[in-house]
Amino acid sequence: MRTLLAAAAVLAALAAAPRAQGETRPPNVVLIYTDDVGFGDVGCYGASGVPTPNVDRLAAEGLRFTDAHCTAATCTPSRYSLLTGEYAFRKRGTGVLPGSAAMVIEPGRTTLASVFQQAGYRTAVVGKWHLGLGAGDLDWNGAIRPGPQDIGFGECFLLPATGDRVPCVYVEGDRVVGLDPEDPIQVSYGKRIGDDPIGAERPDLLKMKFSHGHDRTIVNGISRIGYMTGGHAARWVDEDMADQFVERALRFLDEVGDEPFFLYFATHDVHVPRVPHARFVGKTDKGPRGDVLVEMDWCVGALLDKLDALGVADDTLVIFTSDNGPVLDDGYVDEAVERNGDHAPAGPWRGGKYSAFEAGTRVPHIVRWPSRVEPGVSEALVSQVDYLASLAGLLEVELGEGAGPDSQDQLAALLGDDQVGRDHLVAQAGSISLREGRYKFIPAGKGAKFSRSTGIELGNDTVPQLYDLAEDPGETENLAESEPERVRAMAARLDAIRSGKQGG
Ligand code: NG6
Ligand code: CA
């Protein structure tokens, strides 16, 4: 009897013991991909004027990276690399896309999502897409294919392009949500269509004025890039967008039950137009840009709370990051510049969105996986292009020939076991730059130093630029003339990577 009891006790203890390393089933993954959120925009990276308690909580419970990068200083190329593991400069047509663009990732291609699907996960994308839809000349009134479902996502609920680009409707599965067939949608980035008012002619109808571009079809009192007509019942209300995305994401999490899942949650916040829900208006003294940062943080909190409520937080790997650096005036009169005060959206780094300087791609990056990752801070050099190979490694999925050509398995760095990460990194803005250890090289180019329309500093120059980020994090002293050998070596390596002779 006594031995039986002892055996039962041993069995009970075994059952209660945390699973030993190596036996854990791969985690669920939630990838929170924010839009235009800068290195210094959240509390745990030094922001004091914008409360972001949920992102800060994630950082306190996870690993916060100080040298993590998206691959580009704008949205489409970063998202392309994130999903395919290939630098976007290798593929034509991956610049900032109009809302009428065809999908830039070929159906059937190995992507981050297809890898999860292959491992038996339920997969979903909710939020901003901006990788094109259809195969060209898309009819928005029919089946919208190819789309995310053709590259590994089982479910999707999308903002098709950007908040400031038509069509201003959601796509769920392969249909526009709430479309009245009697009022078909048409979209044009060329000649004007339909008789909807446009911003350039009817500024009196606008609740938010444009500062540059953004003067075409007016939807919800905001004029956009491009023309659309029809689809009135399906048009979104900007103020409700964050709620719509959160609601759809929570439904996915509720419905997956015990199945492993991968959720790619891509916020519209804090991209323009910045139009927070009424409950976030005035939460900061910085106007709409500060308030949508708070709204973004609320979204993060809603997802974290749901993971807790479902009891899966410990076994879920959450990644929080951004698609490019920050920008204040991005084309609407929303007082982002005037009310910014001493807030430093880029933290200590030079530049921002569109820029070859550091803040173009150095973004917040937090990894939380309570049952596996020790909380702390990591200085490892990591890139979003490595998610594909790293997470495939975690899932023990073998990548096929040619899949993710620039993606390295950096799982050890992402999980905090390795404090070094990559030895080099390529970043794409107007110029394509190379980072190697502490050095950053930006080749000479023809691109303008400053944007003619916005005055934003783009980081290009007609002479080569070399910076020592360890000594000079603000990229103020160009060492190219005093270190010609290093410039030559880095230029040669960058050329080899760009021409495909060397992987990225
Ligand atoms: C620019 C838009 C900007 C933003 C950006 C793309 C103008 C003047 N500027 O062309 O507002 O939409 O494209 O941003 O139209 S991204 O984050 O999606 O890359
Ligand atoms: Ca962006």
Which distant-in-sequence residues (6+ apart) come within 8 Å of 131 by Cβ? Answer: 76, 79, 80, 83, 97, 103, 104, 105
Contact 391, 477 (CB under 8 A): no
* Residue 329 Cβ < 6 Å to ligand 1: no
What single-letter DSSP state applies at residue 488? H
Task: Put the strands of the sheet holding 171-172 in their side by side order.
Answer: 175-176, 171-172, 155-159, 122-128, 261-266, 28-34, 316-322, 365-368, 63-65, 376-378
> 258: how many CB neighbours lie within 10 A of its CB?
6
Domain-wise residue ranges, the chain: 25-181+235-414, 425-499
Which one, of 357, 320, 352, lies nearest residue 42 by Cα?
320
Q: Which amino acid is at 72?
A: A
pLDDT at 28 over 50: yes
Q: What is the pLDDT of residues 436-450, one digit of tens each?
A: 999 999 999 988 899
| Peptide bond before residue 167 is cis, with ω within 30 degrees of 0 | yes
Phi and psi at 69, nearest 5°, equal: -135, 140
Higher-pLDDT residue of 44, 430: 44
pTM, to two decimals: 0.95
Fold classification of 425-499 is Arylsulfatase, C-terminal domain (3.30.1120)
- For 303, the enclosing helix (H) or strand (E) is helix 288-310
pLDDT at 392 over 50: yes
pLDDT at 5 over 70: no
* Residue 74 Cβ < 6 Å to ligand 1: yes
d(CA 178, CA 174): 12
Nearest CA to ligand 1 atom 13: 96
* Residue 224 Cβ < 6 Å to ligand 1: no
Report the chain's mean pLDDT, rounded to a whole number. 94
Q: Does domain 25-181+235-414 have CATH number 3.40.720.10?
A: yes
Contact 342, 49 (CB under 8 A): yes
CA 235 to centroid of ligand 1, rounded, Å: 20
pLDDT at 4 over 70: no
Which one, of 221, 269, 224, 262, lies nearest residue 246 by Cα?
269
